Amino acid sequence: MTSSPVDIDLTIGTPSSRRVGARSDPDGAGEPEPHLEGPALVAMYRMMLTARILDEKIWHLTRSQKVPFAIPGKGQEAAQVGSAWAIAKGHDIVLPYYRDVGVVLTLGMTPYEVLLNAYARPGDPNSGGRQMPYHWGCRRLGIITGSSPIGTQIPHAAGLAMASRIKGDDRVTVCYFGEAASSKGDFHEALSFAGIHRLPVVFVCENNLYAISVPMGLQSPVEDVARRAAAYGFPGLVVDGNDAPAVFAATQEAMSRARHGEGPTLIEAKTYRLMPHTSDDNDRAYRTAEEVEQWRTRDPLLRLRRQLHDAGLLGQEDDARLTAEVRAEVDEAADRAADTPEATAESAFTHVYARPLRAIRGAPVTVGAEPPSPGSVSQPTEGIERNGLEAVRETLDQLMAADDRVVTLGEDVGLLGGVFRATAGLQARYGCNRVIDTPLAESSIVGIAIGMALDGLRPVAEIQFADFLHSAFDQIVSEAAKIHYRTAGDFSVPMVVRTPWGGGTRRALYHSQAVEAFYGHVAGLKVVVPSTPADMAGLLRSAVEDPDPVLVLEHKRVYRAVRGLVPEGDWRVPIGVADVARAGDDLTVVTYGIHRQLCLAAAELLAGEGYSLEVVDLRTISPLDRDTILESVVHTGRLLVVHEDNVTFGVGAEIAAIVAEEAFHDLDAPIRRLAMADVPAMPYALPMEQAMMIGEHEVAAAARTMLRS
């Protein structure tokens, strides 16, 4: 069990976490903070009262089964309203967490909107039922959408604050979370980056002492979350989270520091939730009624009410009138929300992408899609000869020169120019604010890029090797790919993640993996795999200009071993369009990455034997160009799929399924997949690596067998 209220000392400071707003009297009564005038205190009380009555209303609606789920904030109103009171509404940027009814109300969300959120009805700030209630988001109010995985929003806050630094504005980003989030790697990675760059961000931890049932003592070896700030080079403040004026004072101080270029602050508001974790929780299983009752004596709403009464700012009649007004307002909002029509079934299939390029597969309704923009399907016949690495570097240079919103970030991308030198010279040209060397922390690299994108920048994040993408899996899959969908288009994430992938360069188990199948499966994410220098340039340009998150997989062997013409100027290759790299009549070979070159070599070899192979380079894994694949297979009657990834559950399995479903009667032979065996990755020893690799002779042998059958 956690300690009782009387055991928590809010008067003793430590070198790493200063305590503010402490009271000498046991029940917390006393004079309000002097810099808050009477009318402001009454208004703050009214906001806390609204949060309390609204919270109770939603709870009662769950008990009557009119609302399916509730996350009560009762007991945390002082921490929420007191801190949000110091934020410049409509100017600063706020990332609440799921319990923050008081925060969003203070920022301008109405009780009606909050109740729409609870009912998950269309038009609400929570995207009309696409995710659980209480996962706020409202662009017009500067409230950034949040999600269920805790702590994932903290790197976004660092990215948003970095965007303010780059743009030179005076906005402050405020990020809320519970004490349990301080156990997550995203918390530490984000605070590290914020401290390094002295970003204009305020982190507010609402420490209610429990992560569902797990008490603070099993969440952290230190009593104060705020003490962690010292490790990242900025102040941590501990404040009595049940004292609204004290929370306001601490937040106001932190906001001033951030706005004047003095860097971040971590505020820990010590509070308590008086209700279960959610409407599905039984808190009696892990805490006693006596403990809860002790905390009720420090109820923040009653506490501020006493202060106002004692100061002569709010009489009993005024309080009764105010309570009646708020209750009527909440009841009216609840009736309106209940009468709002529910979302239609069709809306479940919209807003998967900001720019959908194909119809949503599996959807019972057809949702409008914007076909891939016109562009070259084949390789150019004019331009400057470059290898793949030069194409990437030159394209990034051109994009950054043309658009100040384009920012590059990642490990070693600045002074070193990247381990493959893809960004060499860019930091010298564009400065440290636009070519950013980050800590070795992949989740924060992607999370920070998401924050930048949410603020309108066009970040290009580099992950040093595709094998390390998995450290950022949650940010890519749970956040970047789902933000547009879960907010019904209110937010989009125009970001690019570049990463080298693939084997054949003797880089072994953790530097050679093929990862495209993992990410091609993720709705909301676009995945491209350029195979030539021209495609490296053209697809990268299209990716940076796209309003959706795009993963660009750059095969390491294409970097230096493949040369080709790259047109000058704004050369683009449209996302979602495959390339018929070689026309043929007898067999379709579908491939991507370095295997484009190997399949073309195999086709040339077999041409000498009288066989005509058609080679289709996918170029985009998701959304897949099914039309080009099917047209080719219908023409040739045979299909061989070649890829470097494991054969089981690979991209080849999806292509085989599409052809089997839609062109089965056009086939003259069974479909065949030629892919790597189901081993973790290519090993280091040369004979072992060669045994795994699929070269032109293996492709030719497989094709020959099919053609002779």
Give catalytic residue positions: 511
Decide if 92 contacts 108 (C-beta within 8 A): no
**CA–CA dist 232, 248 (Å, integer):** 24
Q: And the tokens for 406?
A: 């384009």
Name the residue among 73, 87, 77, 29 with its Cα closest to residue 49. Answer: 77
Name the residue among 555, 560, 577, 113 with its Cα closest to residue 372. Answer: 577
Question: φ, ψ for residue 587 (rounded to 5)?
Answer: -155, 135
Helix 38-63 to helix 111-119 angle, to the nearest 10 degrees?
Answer: 20
Q: Identify the three-state secondary structure at position 57.
A: helix
**CA–CA dist 497, 466 (Å, integer):** 10
Measured at the CA of 65, the angle between CA 133 and CA 151, to 5 degrees, comes to 20
Q: And the tokens for 303?
A: 């506490």
**CA–CA dist 515, 676 (Å, integer):** 13
**CA–CA dist 128, 298 (Å, integer):** 36
Decide if 418 contacts 470 (C-beta within 8 A): no
Decide if 426 contacts 400 (C-beta within 8 A): yes
Name the residue among 479, 475, 579 with its Cα closest to residue 530. Answer: 579
Residue 356 zone, left/alpha/beta (φ > 0; ψ -120 to 50; rest): beta
Q: What is the CA radius of gyration of the chain?
A: 29
Please count the CA atoms within 13 angstroms of the CA of 539 that sit on its side-chain side: 33
H or E segment at 436? strand 435-437
- Per the DSSP assignment, residues forming a β-bridge with 384 are 566
